[in-house]
Structure formats: structure tokens, C-alpha cells
């Protein structure tokens, strides 16, 4: 029983990481209908930004997040305005554009760093707390708690504020939102900026856990796509729940089946969910089609 509990805790903490990376991607995917392959690289920029702040100013990742997240969010606004908005009438070209950004960002950081791995974990990355017989990584617990708070905050932002309601309106029907006077392009800019800022925030919080390399974003992006589709497009709680499910499934599959097959197991579950419920666990059936009615 203790063994099962330990694996469950490991899975939940891992799920917090996946959920944190996926929330911003889900927001972009749900509102703008862009498959942003460069989301992992925005996480990477957040991690490098925290490393720079740590080396140059001696800031903890949990302090530098207040600098890094807005800067990555600003980068997201630039990407949406300069690269993606001109391709708004060609959704397939937007996908290729984000893949091009992925390659460009990776190679820029590879050229700047020479591929050297950096770390700012120190003693913070090794601290654990005891919950009975279970040992819990402090930084992973902080990540799970942060993911929960971000999910709750984003939920209330989308449900209770006028700006959040405008975002939801654009998600449901872009044409009707225009008729009601909502500036859809501005909502796109804002949404991509928020999604990018969340990626930067995720990078900051993950800096004490992982070594930083130009290819670090690839460690998260496939799992993030599975989480987004599993939980449901445009559903904040879906991304949170999907992250926990993927994390727990990966932990149990890695422990009881084979560590090599752990990703294959949750991808199998992902495919089954798509067949049974294409909109995802918490997604609204038909929301995808509404979002694709108008792209310009």
C-alpha cells in the first residue's frame, strides 16, 4: 500500500509539471485554434531567463518569475502580431510557421550557449519533506501548488471579468463576437501573450528541477499536446485534470510495466479518449467546429 501511495504521489507531482506547461498551450489552442509547436521553446526561454537572472542578479527562480513571465508574454504578442496574424486566413501555414519558430529558437539558443547545459537547482532542487513514509520533492510540490493556483485564477479571470468573457465569446463564435463589437484580433494578441507568459512562468518554476538545454522544450511539448486534447480544448480545468492523469499513468506504467513504455501507455489512453469522446474529458462537443467557422 505504501508503495502504491508513493507512486501516486510521484505521478501527481509529475502531473503538476505537465499541467503547468499545458495550461498556456490550451488557452492558445482553444481560442486562436493554433497548434503552437513553439510553446516548448517559450518554456525554454523562461528557463534561460531565470538562469540569467540568477547569474546576473542572484535572484531565486521564484522571484525572477515576475520578470521572466511578462517578457516571454511580450514575445508571444510579437509572435502573434508579426508572424501569425498575417497568416490568419491560412491556418495550415500558421502551423508550419510555429514549427519554423521552434527550429529557429532552438538553433539561436544552441548558437548562443554552444549546447552547454545549465542548472540553478542547488540545494533547493534536492530538498524533500516527509508525509508519513512518503518523501515529497519540495520544488515539485511547489510546482503542483502553483499549477492549482494558476488554474483557479485563470478560471475566475475567464468567468468573472469582462475581458475573460470576451475571450470566451471569441472561443465560441468569432463572427458573432465581431458583430457584438469585440476586437477579435486584439483578443488573439492578448490570448497568445497570456499563453506565452504562462509558458515563461512554467519555465521559471521548472528551472530548479531540470537542467537547461536548447532542446528542453521537446521534453514537454508532446505530453502537453496529449494533455490538452485529453482534457478538452479551451478547458482550463481540462488541462489541469489531463496533466494529473498523464502524470499518474506515466508513474504507474513506468513502475509496474516498463519505464521505456510509460509514454506509450498514456498515448494509448489518449487515443482511446479521442475515439470515445473527441472533445476531450471536459471539452464542449462542437466547440472545435464553431472556432473554425471564421479565421479572419
| Category of 277 on φ-ψ map: left (φ > 0), alpha (ψ -120 to 50) or beta | beta
- Which of 19-28, 98-107, 164-173, 272-281 is the least confident region? 272-281
Query: Dihedrals φ, ψ of 131, to 5°?
Result: -115, 90
Q: Is 136 helix (H, G, I), strand (E, B) or coil?
A: strand
What mean pLDDT value characterizes the chain? 86
Q: Which of 205, 269, 166 is nearest to 23 (CA)?
A: 205
pLDDT of residue 256 exceeding 90, the answer is: no
pLDDT at residue 267, as a whole number: 80
> Distances from the Cα of 216 to the Cαs of 55, 98, 110, 294, in angstroms?
19, 17, 11, 35
- High-pLDDT (> 70) share of the chain, %: 92
Residue written as grid cell 506565452: 196
Name the 3-class secondary structure at 218. helix
What's the sign of the alpha-carbon dihedral 186, 191, 197, 203? negative
Q: What is the reported pLDDT for 123? A: 61
Q: Where are the strands (E) in the chain, listed by range?
A: 128-131, 134-137
Half-sphere exposure of 182 (CA within 13 A, CB side): 23
Average pLDDT estimate for 54-77: 93
Topology at the third CATH level for domain 2-291: ABC transporter involved in vitamin B12 uptake, BtuC (1.10.3470)
Digit-coded pLDDT (tens) for 135-161: 788 888 888 999 999 999 999 999 999
Q: Of 214, 216, 215, which is closest to residue 109 (Cα–Cα)?
A: 214
Average pLDDT over every residue of 43-60? 93
Rounded-to-integer distance, Cα 157 and Cα 109, Å: 34
Q: Grid coordinates in use for 168?
A: 470566451
Residue 99, pLDDT above cutoff 90: yes
Residues 6+ positions from 179 with CB-CB distance below 8 Å: none
Task: Name residue, grid cell 471539452.
Answer: 283
The pLDDT of residue 296 is above 50: no
Q: Report how far residue 91's alpha carbon sits from residue 85's, in angstroms, rounded to the nearest whole number.
A: 10
Mean pLDDT value across residues 197-225: 90
How does residue 47 score in pLDDT terms, banded at 50, 70 and 90?
A: very high
pLDDT band at 281, cuts 50/70/90?
confident
pLDDT at 80 over 90: yes
134: phi then psi, degrees, rounded to nearest 5: -100, 130
Q: What pLDDT shows up at residue 7?
A: 86
Pinpoint the alpha helices (H) of 173-285.
174-179, 184-206, 218-231, 236-256, 262-276
pTM for this model (two decimals) = 0.89
Q: How confident is the model at residue 97 (pLDDT cuts 50, 70, 90)?
A: very high
Residue at grid coordinates 458583430 = 179
Q: What is the pLDDT of residues 102-139, one digit of tens each?
A: 999 999 999 999 888 998 866 666 677 876 677 788 88
Amino acid 38: pLDDT: 93
Amino acid at each position: 500500500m505504501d508503495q502504491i501511495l508513493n507512486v501516486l504521489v510521484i505521478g501527481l507531482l509529475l502531473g503538476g509539471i505537465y499541467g503547468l506547461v499545458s495550461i498556456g498551450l490550451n488557452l492558445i489552442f482553444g481560442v486562436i485554434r493554433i497548434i503552437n509547436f513553439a510553446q516548448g521553446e517559450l518554456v525554454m526561454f523562461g528557463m534561460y531567463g531565470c538562469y540569467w537572472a540568477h547569474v546576473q542578479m542572484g535572484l531565486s527562480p521564484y522571484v525572477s518569475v515576475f520578470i521572466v513571465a511578462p517578457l516571454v508574454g511580450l514575445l508571444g504578442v510579437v509572435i502573434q502580431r508579426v508572424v501569425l496574424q498575417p497568416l490568419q486566413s491560412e491556418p495550415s501555414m500558421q502551423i508550419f510557421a510555429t514549427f519554423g519558430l521552434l527550429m529557429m529558437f532552438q538553433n539561436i539558443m544552441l548558437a548562443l550557449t554552444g549546447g552547454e547545459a545549465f542548472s540553478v537547482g542547488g540545494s533547493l532542487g534536492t530538498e524533500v519533506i516527509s508525509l508519513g513514509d512518503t518523501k515529497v520533492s519540495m520544488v515539485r510540490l511547489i510546482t503542483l501548488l502553483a499549477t492549482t493556483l494558476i488554474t483557479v485564477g485563470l478560471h475566475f479571470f475567464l468567468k468573472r471579468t469582462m475581458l475573460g468573457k470576451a475571450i470566451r465569446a471569441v472561443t465560441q463564435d468569432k463572427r458573432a463576437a465581431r458583430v457584438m463589437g469585440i476586437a477579435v484580433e486584439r483578443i488573439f494578441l492578448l490570448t497568445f501573450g497570456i499563453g506565452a507568459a504562462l509558458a515563461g512562468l512554467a519555465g521559471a518554476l521548472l528551472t530548479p528541477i531540470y537542467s537547461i538545454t536548447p532542446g528542453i522544450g521537446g521534453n514537454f511539448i508532446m505530453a502537453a499536446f496529449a494533455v490538452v486534447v485529453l482534457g478538452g480544448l479551451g478547458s482550463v480545468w481540462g488541462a489541469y485534470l489531463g496533466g494529473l492523469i498523464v502524470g499518474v499513468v506515466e508513474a504507474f506504467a513506468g513502475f509496474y510495466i516498463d519505464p521505456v513504455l510509460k509514454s506509450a501507455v498514456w498515448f494509448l489512453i489518449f487515443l482511446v479518449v479521442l475515439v470515445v469522446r473527441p472533445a476531450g474529458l471536459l471539452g464542449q462537443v462542437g466547440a472545435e467546429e464553431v472556432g473554425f467557422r471564421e479565421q479572419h
